[in-house]
């Protein structure tokens, strides 16, 4: 197997090899090149297996959470406590797609409230949606299917049940779960750094919780490319009357026609408009 970083703490990197976990430092050349090793990086070690000599080419890299070479990003949302924001979910999904990662929506707390709003919002979106029922185990096999042979991460606002989900998938990890703050309506961050575990025939990255502000920073997608990260637009966007249609006010827009015909979710389209406006206001140095 190709050695890869499972965790980085205090300048030390823990690398899984055929012989187990090696504690390593990284060569100073990476700092000079402006490269920070992160969990998920495939690496080459020196002969003593105590120094990272090279970071192999990355498929992708995320800053929040700091993880590389993701295949699947599970976006965890709860039906209530906290109430889901489809705009936040859509930004996360768009950010994943923009970096060639498959987003999968996972809905928790279905015993506390119905998931009708989320089901309606994402029907026809092209994004997989999994409803979890811990009492029956429904949905867990679907999640395991996505994990197999992939490197996956879990994200979502604090309190949605990411650690609980990981416990259900891999009980032996015994991950700490956080209590929901009644005052704030959201949970405490219980995971301090990204750490990768081999479970379910694949690998999962246990990641720190996302705050809304961090989610906003994830999405630095040029407005002209936003249409590409809304899969439900794909059948229609080439049919627009004008090249470069922004799908907002132009005449002959096939995307807006599909919206009017109920083929595209109004919720998803509203997220597209909000993200387009945000992208349009970005200065070049912020992109």
On whether 157 is known to bind a ligand per the annotation, the reply is yes
For residue range 71-118, what is the model confidence (pLDDT) as tens digits?
999 999 999 888 889 998 999 999 999 999 999 999 999 988 889 999
On whether 72 is known to bind a ligand per the annotation, the reply is no
Confidence of residue 127 (pLDDT cuts 50, 70, 90): very high
On whether 36 is known to bind a ligand per the annotation, the reply is no
* Alpha-carbon gap, residue 1 to 120, rounded angstroms: 43
On whether 246 is known to bind a ligand per the annotation, the reply is no
**Which CATH number describes the domain made up of 67-215?**
3.40.50.300
Superfamily the domain 4-57 falls into: Nucleic acid-binding proteins (2.40.50.140)
Query: Where does CATH 1.10.40.50 sit in the chain?
Result: 221-286
Q: Which of 58-62, 76-80, 157-161 has the lowest mean pLDDT?
A: 157-161
On whether 159 is known to bind a ligand per the annotation, the reply is yes
Which residue's structure tokens are 């797609």? 97
On whether 86 is known to bind a ligand per the annotation, the reply is no
**266-281 and 86-98 helices cross at what angle (nearest 10)?**
70
On whether 174 is known to bind a ligand per the annotation, the reply is no
On whether 155 is known to bind a ligand per the annotation, the reply is no
> What is the third-level CATH fold of 221-286?
Ribonucleotide Reductase Protein R1; domain 1 (1.10.40)
Its pTM stands at: 0.85
On whether 161 is known to bind a ligand per the annotation, the reply is yes
On whether 95 is known to bind a ligand per the annotation, the reply is no
* Alpha-carbon gap, residue 191 to 195, rounded angstroms: 9
For residue range 221-275, what is the model confidence (pLDDT) as tens digits?
999 999 999 999 999 999 999 999 999 999 999 999 999 999 999 999 999 999 9
Nearest residue to 63 via CA among 86, 88, 38: 38
On whether 247 is known to bind a ligand per the annotation, the reply is yes
Task: Quote the longest CA-to-CA distance of the chain.
Answer: 65
């Amino acid at each position: 197997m190709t050695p890869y970083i499972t965790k980085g703490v205090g300048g030390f990197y823990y690398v899984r090899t055929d012989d187990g976990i090696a504690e390593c430092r990284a060569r100073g050349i990476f700092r000079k090149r402006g490269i920070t090793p992160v969990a998920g990086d495939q690496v080459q070690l020196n002969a003593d297996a105590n120094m990272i000599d090279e970071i192999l080419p990355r498929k992708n890299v995320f800053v929040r959470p700091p993880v590389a070479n993701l295949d699947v990003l599970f976006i965890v949302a709860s039906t209530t406590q906290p109430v889901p924001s489809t705009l936040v979910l859509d930004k996360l999904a768009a950010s994943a797609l923009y970096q060639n990662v498959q987003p999968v929506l996972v809905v928790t707390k279905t015993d506390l409230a119905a998931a009708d709003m989320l089901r309606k919002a994402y029907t026809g979106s092209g994004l997989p949606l999994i409803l979890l029922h811990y009492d029956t185990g429904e949905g867990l096999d679907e999640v395991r299917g996505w994990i197999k042979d992939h490197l996956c991460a879990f994200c979502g606002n604090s309190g949605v049940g990411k650690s609980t989900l990981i416990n259900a998938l891999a009980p032996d990890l015994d991950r700490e779960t956080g209590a929901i703050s009644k005052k704030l309506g959201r949970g405490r961050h219980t995971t301090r750094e990204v750490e990768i575990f081999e479970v379910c025939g694949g690998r999962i990255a246990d990641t720190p919780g996302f705050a809304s502000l961090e989610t906003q920073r994830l999405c630095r997608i040029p407005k002209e490319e936003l249409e590409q990260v809304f899969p439900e637009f794909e059948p229609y966007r080439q049919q627009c009357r004008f090249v470069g249609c922004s799908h907002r006010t132009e005449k002959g827009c096939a995307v807006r026609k599909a919206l009017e015909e109920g083929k595209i979710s109004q919720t998803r389209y509203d997220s597209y408009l909000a993200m387009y406006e945000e992208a349009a206001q970005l200065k070049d140095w912020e992109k």
